[in-house]
């Protein structure tokens, strides 16, 4: 079993990085070479800007290459609750932004000819308990009337046509959702940006940012550069002068296992329509079929940081959960097990905007595959003055009380959500 991301292990390495020193002047300096940074670099380079990307490690090595490869529309939260909290108009605008994110990914895949197995197979949100189904049905009725008529309920009686498991009680189907090989996608994004002239520097952490005449001076181990504009696309990065961001984002571990390749006949029985699957538990599980016929099974197995020991412990928990859903896989070999850190905000909604002359987009809270790509593309317009295109423009972003340094409170949060799953 490899303690590494299946997506990164089975994607070609990014080889179009710049070997030159970081020097001179740039129109835009982007901190982070994941989905947000790479999509922003592509969009800005297409506008004719001189773009420099500084990635502390390698392209896509963090959350962008460590997720489930699901490109799902819809909120992480309950739509009805969001409409009640924010008002229907704002909730609908934000919901449609997630829809547009899937469209943005599909457009870029097509325009840049990125070989990443993108397919709109749909997402099925599975009711973990009978009462969860009733809540989903109420939400779906409201959602279909106000924002997304391309959703429908799948009853428990209809569920065998979607998956071979006795674990669930029906669910809500989002027809627009998609899956892809996210490792090949993020590499393809960065390569497309490089083809258009973006300079992408790997192993180049940003260590300092200070205002100067004409923009900001950015210091790295490979040199200094002055940029007219700066975009932070750094997620939960612990490198560099990002203290203001770190007090507003909680790095939460997400963990995934991937099986050995399975016969097509087995997968045709388990997941005949190859949907993206997620459930309604607070400690969520999600699963899907990979492009080479493996089962990927992930979730919030433990509220802990990701490291080899933590990943292995989480993998054992996920394997037990997978067998609970699919008992026939009890003897199936696990080939990959890994973790990644989700950039979680307090309300689980992204944040994007500008502070003290520095732009930022992050906090995707587990729904970043499509929204990060969408926001990276849109931040190219926002930085050009089209602030109205930013769906998160009116959201404040206060610091999380008590969150200074490592997230000491994660075990407490995990215990709370485990208790909720038992009681609800």
pLDDT number for residue 283: 81
How would residue 423 be classed by pLDDT, with cut points 50, 70 and 90?
low
Using DSSP, state whether 222 is helix, strand or coil: coil
**Closest CA relative to residue 370, chosen from 178, 138, 147:** 178
pLDDT number for residue 337: 96
Is the pLDDT score of 416 beyond 60? no
pLDDT number for residue 258: 98
Lowest mean pLDDT among 15-24, 178-187, 208-217, 335-344: 335-344
pLDDT number for residue 254: 86
How would residue 408 be classed by pLDDT, with cut points 50, 70 and 90?
low
Task: Report, as an integer, the average pLDDT of 84-98.
Answer: 93
How would residue 412 be classed by pLDDT, with cut points 50, 70 and 90?
low
CB 252 within 8 A of CB 300: yes
What's the mean pLDDT when you consider all of the chain? 93
Beta strand pairing status for 25-31 and 51-54? parallel
412, with CB counted inside 10 A (0-12, 13-18, 19+), is exposed
**Interior CA angle at 49 toward 46 and 52, to 5°?**
105
pLDDT number for residue 305: 72
Q: Can you tell me the distance from the alpha carbon of 11 to that of 292, in angstroms, rounded to the nearest whole number?
A: 12
Task: Report, as an integer, the average pLDDT of 212-221.
Answer: 97
For 244-256, write each residue's pLDDT tens digit: 998 999 888 889 9
CB 45 within 8 A of CB 196: yes
Q: Can you tell me the distance from the alpha carbon of 163 to that of 69, in angstroms, rounded to the nearest whole number?
A: 19
Q: Can you tell me the distance from the alpha carbon of 366 to that of 68, in angstroms, rounded to the nearest whole number?
A: 10
With pLDDT > 70 as the criterion, what percentage of the chain qualifies?
A: 95
For 382-392, write each residue's pLDDT tens digit: 999 999 999 99
How would residue 344 be classed by pLDDT, with cut points 50, 70 and 90?
confident
The predicted model scores a pTM of 0.94
Neighbours of 395 (CB within 10 A): 18
Is the pLDDT score of 218 beyond 70? yes
Q: Can you tell me the distance from the alpha carbon of 389 to that of 405, in angstroms, rounded to the nearest whole number?
A: 33
CB 42 within 8 A of CB 108: yes
Alpha carbons within 13 angstroms on the beta-carbon side of residue 59 total 30
How would residue 410 be classed by pLDDT, with cut points 50, 70 and 90?
low
Q: Can you tell me the distance from the alpha carbon of 118 to that of 97, in angstroms, rounded to the nearest whole number?
A: 19
pLDDT number for residue 75: 81
pLDDT number for residue 241: 86
Task: Report, as an integer, the average pLDDT of 229-244.
Answer: 89
CATH number, span 6-413 = 3.50.50.60
Task: Report, as an integer, the average pLDDT of 235-242.
Answer: 83
pLDDT number for residue 253: 81
pLDDT number for residue 242: 87
Q: Can you tell me the distance from the alpha carbon of 5 to that of 276, in angstroms, rounded to the nearest whole number?
A: 18
Lowest mean pLDDT among 139-143, 195-199, 200-204, 311-315: 311-315
Is the pLDDT score of 424 beyond 80? no
Is the pLDDT score of 295 beyond 90? yes
Q: Which helix (H) or strand (E) holds 194?
A: helix 182-195
Helix, strand, coil tally for the chain in percent (to 5): 35, 25, 40
Neighbours of 214 (CB within 10 A): 10
Domain boundaries, the chain: 6-413
| The length of the chain, given as a count of residues | 424
Task: Report, as an integer, the average pLDDT of 75-89.
Answer: 89
**Better-scored residue on pLDDT, 283 or 362:** 362
**Closest CA relative to residue 321, chosen from 298, 294, 352:** 298
How would residue 309 be classed by pLDDT, with cut points 50, 70 and 90?
confident
For 256-265, write each residue's pLDDT tens digit: 999 999 999 9
pLDDT number for residue 84: 93
Is the pLDDT score of 376 beyond 90? yes
Is the pLDDT score of 325 beyond 90? yes
Q: Can you tell me the distance from the alpha carbon of 68 to that of 256, in angstroms, rounded to the nearest whole number?
A: 7
Is the pLDDT score of 422 beyond 80? no
């Amino acid at each position: 079993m490899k303690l590494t991301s299946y997506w990164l292990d089975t994607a070609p390495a990014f080889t179009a990085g710049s070997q030159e020193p970081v020097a001179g002047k740039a129109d835009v300096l982007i901190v982070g070479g994941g989905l947000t940074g790479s999509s922003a670099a592509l969009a800005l380079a297409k506008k004719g800007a001189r773009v420099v990307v500084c990635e502390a490690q390698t392209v896509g090595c963090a959350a962008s290459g460590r997720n489930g490869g699901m490109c799902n529309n819809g909120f992480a939260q309950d739509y009805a609750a969001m409409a009640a909290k924010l008002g229907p108009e704002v909730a609908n605008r934000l919901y449609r932004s997630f829809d547009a994110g899937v469209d943005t990914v599909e457009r870029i895949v097509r325009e840049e000819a990125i070989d990443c197995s993108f397919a709109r197979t749909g997402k099925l949100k599975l009711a973990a308990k009978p009462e969860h189904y009733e809540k989903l049905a109420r939400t779906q009725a409201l959602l279909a009337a106000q924002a997304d008529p391309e959703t429908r309920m799948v009853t428990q009686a209809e569920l065998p046509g979607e998956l071979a498991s006795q674990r669930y009680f029906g669910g809500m189907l989002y027809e627009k959702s998609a899956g892809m090989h996210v490792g090949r996608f993020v590499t393809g994004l960065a390569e497309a940006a490089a083809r258009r002239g973006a300079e992408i520097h790997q192993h180049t952490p940003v260590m300092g940012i200070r205002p100067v005449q004409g923009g900001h001076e950015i210091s790295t181990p490979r040199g200094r550069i002055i940029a007219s504009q700066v975009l932070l696309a750094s997620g939960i990065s612990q490198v560099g002068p990002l203290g203001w961001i770190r007090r507003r984002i909680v790095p939460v571990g997400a963990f995934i296992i991937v099986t050995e390749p399975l016969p097509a006949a087995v997968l045709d029985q388990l997941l005949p329509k190859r949907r993206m699957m997620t459930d309604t538990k607070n400690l969520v599980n999600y699963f899907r079929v990979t492009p080479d016929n493996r089962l990927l099974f992930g979730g919030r197995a433990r509220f802990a940081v990701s490291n080899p020991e933590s990943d292995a412990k989480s993998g054992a928990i996920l394997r037990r959960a997978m067998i609970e859903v699919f008992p026939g896989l009890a003897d199936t070999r696990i080939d990959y097990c890994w973790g990644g850190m989700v950039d979680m905000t307090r309300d689980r909604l992204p944040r994007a905007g500008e502070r003290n002359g520095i732009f930022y987009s992050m906090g995707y809270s587990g729904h970043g595959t499509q929204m990060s790509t969408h926001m990276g593309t849109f931040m190219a317009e926002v930085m050009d003055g089209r602030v109205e295109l930013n769906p998160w423009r009116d959201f404040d972003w206060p610091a999380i009380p008590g969150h200074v340094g490592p997230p000491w409170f994660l075990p407490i949060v995990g215990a709370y959500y485990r208790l909720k799953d038992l009681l609800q």
